[in-house]
Structure 1
Amino acid sequence: MDNAQRTPTPQDLDTLSRQLGRPVRDVVEIGARCVCGNPLVATTAPRLGNGIPFPTTFYLTHPVITSAVSRLEAAGVMTEMTERLARDPELAAAYRSAHEAYLQARSEIGARSGIGDVPEIAGVSAGGMPGRVKCLHVLVGHSLAAGPGVNPLGDEALELIAQWWTRDRCYCEGAWDVQSEAPSKDLSRHTRTQGLSQADLDAKRAARQGGPRPGDGGTMTGEDA
């Protein structure tokens, strides 16, 4: 897409909020669009407005696609893909290249948005890359934003959901509420971390997951919050 297509309009932001069911935040670009023009992927700032590092640059938003990808996850596709990575060096190399491409794209987006580099997530991509698959939604979002041939497992997942969604058709009608007011209050768990220090974030993660205590080297990011 060109710069004009990537630039989010007020209508895009309204649509994203309706798709997600919460007020959209920190969207700096539109990563991919439906054939009708509606957003499919939100490109999120590498550091949120509240200061939290956010590694998930390409955030899949379209309800039809997210639902289809969730079916794959429920069917155990992520486990099968991770196992293939361990025994297929060619696939593993291509997946590592996807990881590097993700990092490069985030760096370029950070530069374009004026945010710059975010040291806390340096070398960390998303979705489990480069060694495993822990979120197909991330990989599909990457494939849609980057185009075919960049993320092999994201491309594969798109093929697997073809019975429910394909690039050449619009599936927007009825996919989200367009009659009511757009969501104005964020009820997601992310709102409970806004404004917290890194030590507080680490403490919340430790309490919730039984993970490392503050000072043990664990770092909580926007993907974890």
Structure 2
Amino acid sequence: MKPEAWPQEPEAVTEADARAVSAQLGRPIRGARAVAWRCPCGQPAVVETEPRLPDGSPFPTTYYLTCTKAASAIGRLEGGGVMKDMNERLAADPELAARHRRAHEDYLARRARLGEVPEIAGVSAGGLPDRVKCLHALVGHALAAGPGVDPMGDEAIAMLPEWWKSGGCGTEAGE
């Protein structure tokens, strides 16, 4: 699966987007700066989050995947052992490991443009730079950054079904 509109320009979070993301997460949205990627169904799917939340807490997950259908599909990949295979490949393939490390550096550079937070300096997401720990974070980064930036995120996206084709993402704002 490859979404047609990938990547997209970040869009300011509207009130409708904030309601949709809050419904997706089951809690109020926090620190969202932009919708980094919108699902083909029209709802926010990845939000770009400030590196420091409004309460002052550092938040290393710059690209937060919020789409419940995509998150469920990614959870099935994780449960099926995809991360174990990816980690084995990272350990055996120096070129893949170097590309994975470059994804980490890209993540840090994108977050630095939003602000510096010393408490999370050098920390990215999803197991970067040395392993694959959370496909949700890697897919969020890949969708926000575009193809070719996060190799493991790109691979996971290619394995996902077209979740948006079975109706909207089931948020209050999208139904």
TM-score, normalized by length of structure 2?
Answer: 0.89
Q: Which has the larger radius of gyration?
A: 1
| Cα distance in 2, alignment partners of residues 158 and 60 from structure 1 | 12
Instruction: State yes or no: 1:56 paired with 2:61.
Output: yes
Q: Distance in 1 between matches of 2:153 and 2:34?
A: 20
Task: Give SS of 2:37's match.
Answer: strand
CA shift in 2, pair 1:142/1:171, >3 Å: farther
Residue equivalent to 1:41: 46
Give the AA of the match of 2:172: V
**Which position in structure 1 is the counterpart of 2:130?**
131
Tell me what 1:81 maps to: 86
Structure 1 pair 38–14 and aligned structure 2 pair: CA distance change class (3 A) = same
Q: CA deviation at 1:37?
A: 3.0
Moved over 3 A (4+): 169-172
Which structure 2 segments of 5+ residues have no match? 1-7
Q: Is the 8 A contact 1:60 1:140 kept in 2?
A: yes
> TM-score with structure 1 length normalisation?
0.70
1:178 counterpart residue number: 172
Number of aligned residue pairs: give it: 166
Residues in 1 aligned to 2:89 and 2:154: alpha-carbon distance in whole angstroms: 15
Find the aligned partners of 1:142 and 1:23 in 2 and give their Cα distance: 22
2:101 and 2:85 mapped to 1: Cα distance?
Answer: 17
Aligned with 1:98 (options 82, 92, 103): 103
- Choose which of 83, 107, 115 in structure 1 pairs with 2:112: 107
- Partner AA of 2:138 in structure 1: L
Please state whether the residue corresponding to 2:154 is helix, strand or coil.
helix
More RCO (CA 8 Å, sep 6+): 2
Q: Secondary structure at the match of 2:46?
A: strand
Q: Distance in 1 between matches of 2:165 and 2:52?
A: 32
Contact 1:127–1:133 (CA under 8 A) maintained in structure 2: yes
SS in 2 for 1:43: strand
Q: 1:171 to 1:146 in 2, by over 3 A?
A: farther
Whether the aligned pair in 2 keeps the contact of 1:64 and 1:171 (CA below 8 Å) is no
The answer as to whether partners of 2:19 and 2:172 remain within 8 angstroms in 1 is no
Instruction: State the match for 1:150 in structure 2.
Output: 149
CA-based RMSD of the aligned residues comes to 1.6
8 Å Cα contact 2:20/2:171 also seen in 1: no
- 1:61 Cα deviation after fit: 0.4
Q: 1:24 aligns with which of 23, 29, 39?
A: 29
Q: CA deviation at 1:171?
A: 5.1
Query: Compared with structure 1, are the counterparts of its residues 92 and 72 closer, same or farther at alpha carbon in structure 2 (3 Å cutoff)?
Result: same
8 A contact 1:58–1:141 mirrored in 2: yes
1:80 CA drift (Å): 1.1
